[in-house]
Amino acid sequence: MKSNIYFSQLAGHLEQLPASERQIIIENYRQYADKNELSGEKLIQALGTPKQLARRALIDYSIDADLIAENAVPVAGESFIKRNRRRLQRQLNLLGLVVVSLAPNIAWYPAMLIIFAILFGMAVIMAILAVIVLLSLGMGIYQIIAGLWVLRQDWSVSLFQGGIGVALIGLQFIAWPVMIALLHGLMNLLMMYTKSVGRRFSNEHQLKEVQHD
């Protein structure tokens, strides 16, 4: 494969990046190839296929973009929900990119399994907590209805059951924020590991001087 075709394909795989960033990446690798007189199979051996190289470049860019976004000042007027929705979408995109990039290489399967195990653990924990909280909500509503039902027969029992019901319903105002905070913390741990794996993967083929025979 000629170098101009290689870098043309690389540009196609980097279309989602801003034009300026895409140009910097392509020019950096083009200069490396010219300096080391790489073309054809030697170019692919040194940098991988255009698609493989693009994935490594996209991982680096996405990790850097996420770090910048995490430390950026919140946009004025942006709601908490909208800000966290953007954050979650950004992190899921990065997570998907890393997993897709690791998939063709069996050597990275242990890292992928850890990522999937963390995701599965998060899903199980949140599902169990959600069931417990929803059951407490249902029990609270039941206690209030039961208390009203026996009000004419025994007001003390009615008051007791109603109090339990109100307490269980009031628990929702504590439980849901705690669950959201827990999910946020688990997601942070997952992304820390994912970024670490992504960096190691993208640095696996660092630019090195090529020794000519």
In a domain, 122, yes or no: yes
Greatest Cα pair distance, the chain, in angstroms, is 99
The residue range of the domain holding 86 is 49-205
Residue 16 near residue 58 (C-beta atoms within 8 A): yes
In a domain, 31, yes or no: no
Tell whether pTM > 0.85: no
In a domain, 81, yes or no: yes
Q: What is the predicted pLDDT for the residue at 114?
A: 95
Q: Please state the φ and ψ torsions of residue 54, each to the nearest 5 degrees.
A: -60, -40
* Helices 109-149 & 172-202 angle (0-180, nearest 10): 170
In a domain, 191, yes or no: yes
In a domain, 186, yes or no: yes
Q: What is the predicted pLDDT for the residue at 207?
A: 54
Quote the number of domains for the chain: 1
In a domain, 9, yes or no: no
Q: What pLDDT digit, counting tens, does each position of 39-95 carry?
A: 778 888 888 889 989 999 999 999 998 888 888 777 777 787 888 888 889 999 999
Rg (CA), the chain: 27
Q: What pLDDT digit, counting tens, does each position of 91-142 carry?
A: 999 999 999 989 988 999 999 999 999 999 999 999 999 999 999 999 999 9
